[in-house]
Amino acid sequence: MNEPLTRKIIISAPAHEKLINQLQGRGFDVAYLPAISYEELFKIIPDAEGVIVTTRLGIDSTMINQAEKLKWIGRLGSGMELIDEQCAKEKGIVCISTPEGNRNAVAEHTLALTLNLMNNISKSFDEIKRGRWLRNENRGVELSGKTVGIVGYGNTGSTFAKLLSSFNVTVLAYDKYKDGFGSGYIKEANLEHICRYADVISFHLPLTAETYHMANADFFNSLQQKPFFITTCRGPVTDTTALINALTSGKLAGAALDVLENEKLDRLNSIEMCQLDFLTAQPNVIVTPHIAGYSNEAFSRMTEVLIAKLQSLNMI
């Protein structure tokens, strides 16, 4: 007598334990392999019905063509740049992301970076650790009454705008693929308006061929208000060389980055090492290690969103 076929799901990145429990509770054989390499995944993916990823591993056409039984790819978080969606579509494989799960975490982190930068919090703390108590030199700039430019008005950009509701700001929001969302303090704008009027500019874009190095020399040179620049989306959306030039030439009041073009610090080339050394040495720059969407709540909520979407599609 033949044994019943087992439906296998591979989780290739750290995930909340309830994701494993809920999938196992539905009868799936769950392979929880948060440290699996691309080569190891390639060997076992032919047996998988579903695979769950983050930004740790790419699911390219080679991997997809190897996945003979694959029905869906689940992405914990936002951004699908590491998945060959076109190849998946041609194979009838459904791709699912969960930006609703961590949009609040990203928005809160963006606000935290903004307030930190404008009020010299990290800067003054570093000075105190060196025995320097400098008050006049660390006068802050209030967010209240300022104009905030938001580039990209999707899940995270719109959530960040909502968090700003109590700060008495004007939000200029630009999204090439959206309109009709302006209301009250949120004004629809184009990129030229943001570059001309914004005191703070925050990027919330996916990484695509269109957005690669969107924050480039032309962008920074067009800034009129010497704004604070914040990015919590994807590193390659910003041209690091252009950003550094904007800082050194005084086009920016400061910059806060949760993302870098190359986030594998053990694999930086000599130019990237010099760039990171420069950025971390500046008193008006903050760099955090791509943690904006990594709150404890988001870690749990992304699981809930993925399960709900898989259920709605009758995938589990």
What are the structure tokens assigned to 187, written together? Answer: 């004004």
Catalytic residue among 26, 193, 213, 290: 290
Q: Is 263 a residue of the active site?
A: yes
* Four-CA torsion 292, 297, 300, 304, nearest 10 degrees: -100
Q: Is 130 a residue of the active site?
A: no
Q: Is 192 a residue of the active site?
A: no
* Four-CA torsion 41, 44, 47, 49, nearest 10 degrees: -20
Q: Is the dihedral of CA 290, 53, 316, 65 positive or negative?
A: positive
d(CA 274, CA 258): 18
User: Which amino acid is located at 179 in the chain?
Assistant: D
Catalytic residue among 263, 297, 301, 304: 263
Q: Is the dihedral of CA 142, 288, 237, 80 positive or negative?
A: negative
Catalytic residue among 75, 109, 234, 301: 234
Q: Is the dihedral of CA 101, 104, 108, 114 positive or negative?
A: positive
∠ CA 231-297-15, rounded to 5°: 90
Contact between residue 262 and residue 235 where contact means Cβ atoms under 8 Å apart:
yes
Q: Which residues are catalytic?
A: 234, 263, 290
